[in-house]
A and B are shown apart, each in its own frame.
Chain A
Amino acid sequence: MSLQASSSYAFGISSFVSPPRRVRHVPEIRAKVEPSDKSVEIMRKFSEQYARKSGTYFCVDKGVTSVVIKGLADHKDSLGAPLCPCRHYDDKAAEAGQGFWNCPCVPMRERKECHCMLFLTPDNDFAGQDQTISLEEIRESTANM
């Protein structure tokens, strides 16, 4: 599992009360949680590498790719592992610790099935021709979310 993007660790839900790095008090306004630049960059690089390694391509609409990379980065920040952002989990921390849905998930590693549409096989209708995505592309396509 050389390309596993992070070492995961599990902690109980109760530890959400005092997460390791996210200490800022959230005011009473609606807020979209933005993943850290560092994690976005790690997941961006990982995605490029894994696409090449697996012979898969990014979605023809890089907005999809960008959203998923940010979702992975967000989970990396909050859970310590890039848990798939396209699923619901009853217990995210436990799931991240277990690892089945940490990117690249088991279905991807075994059958090249990425329901999140980050890694698409060339025969997929939505597959583009790129195995690269720049930070600028990610910023652009998620700027107004």
Chain B
Amino acid sequence: METMVSNSMPISVSSLPPVRVVASPRKLEFSSFTPKTTLFGSRSQRKIGFRCSPVRRAAVTCGVVTEIKESQFSDVVLKADEPVLVEFVATWCGPCRLISPAMEAIAQEYGDRLTVVKIDHDANPRLIEEYKVYGLPTLILFKNGQEVPESRREGAITKGKLKEYVDALLESISVA
């Protein structure tokens, strides 16, 4: 159980390393929506799921979507050989949570040709400023240290559309 501190100062969040539980990969897809389905599993299911643990000086690794902070951005994203899909998120952002299982699924499925990372906007203001991210979640694809033109996408997305989006981008950069 992670420690909860209520009534603490919001500013403290930004000075601490971002630690969040990245949803473990789930089979549920958006297409499986029925009023009784929850994307995140029941509480008891989630308790069984493994938790991430922060590794000193390395990314917080959990499942296949890795959460990184700005100090790692250059190494993990800009200097990467393969394309990197970056997801900018916030703690209390519903659609960010909604797309989390789809992002995990994409990260697994495209594991050999695509890296997927997530970045918390509150804890990493310099990156947010540099890339002018406002709506959350925002997805941006990076390749060869640069933002891939027209790869930016805001808001919730179904797994099917996310796949189409990734496929189109990977194709466009392989042609370019």
A residues lining the B interface (CB < 8 Å)? 16-17, 19, 21-24, 26-27, 29-34, 36, 59-65, 67-68, 70-72, 74, 77-78, 85-90, 115-118, 125-126, 128-129, 140-141, 143-145
Per DSSP, chain A at the interface is loop
- Known: A31-B5, A34-B4. Contact between A63 and B38, CB under 8 A? yes
- Known: A32-B2, A116-B93. Contact between A63 and B39, CB under 8 A? yes
CA distance A143 to B88 in the complex (A): 23
Query: Which A residues touch B93, using CB under 8 A?
Result: 67-68, 71, 85-86, 116
Query: Which B residues touch A32, using CB under 8 A?
Result: 2, 4-5, 20, 91
Query: Which A residues touch B21, using CB under 8 A?
Result: 144-145
A129 near B8: Cβ-Cβ < 8 Å: no
CB distance from B14 to the nearest CB of A (A): 10
B residues lining the A interface (CB < 8 Å)? 2-13, 16-17, 19-21, 30, 33-35, 37-40, 43, 46-47, 54, 88, 90-98, 121, 128-129, 133-136, 154-156, 158
CB distance from A78 to the nearest CB of B (A): 4
A140 near B10: Cβ-Cβ < 8 Å: no
- Known: A60-B33, A88-B121. Contact between A71 and B91, CB under 8 A? yes
- Residue in contact with B135 in the complex, picked from A27, A33, A72, A86, CB distance below 8 Å: A86
Given contacts A24-B8, A61-B40, 5 further A-B contacts (CB under 8 A): A62-B38, A86-B90, A115-B154, A125-B33, A144-B43
B43 near A33: Cβ-Cβ < 8 Å: no
Interface centre among B4, B6, B16, B158 (most CB of A within 10 A): B6
CB distance from A9 to the nearest CB of B (A): 16
B33 near A126: Cβ-Cβ < 8 Å: yes
Query: Which A residues touch B90, using CB under 8 A?
Result: 71, 85-86, 88
A33 near B6: Cβ-Cβ < 8 Å: yes
A129 near B35: Cβ-Cβ < 8 Å: yes
A68 near B91: Cβ-Cβ < 8 Å: no
Query: Which A residues touch B154, using CB under 8 A?
Result: 115
CA distance A47 to B108 in the complex (A): 36
B8 near A31: Cβ-Cβ < 8 Å: yes
CA distance A81 to B164 in the complex (A): 38
CB distance from B73 to the nearest CB of A (A): 16
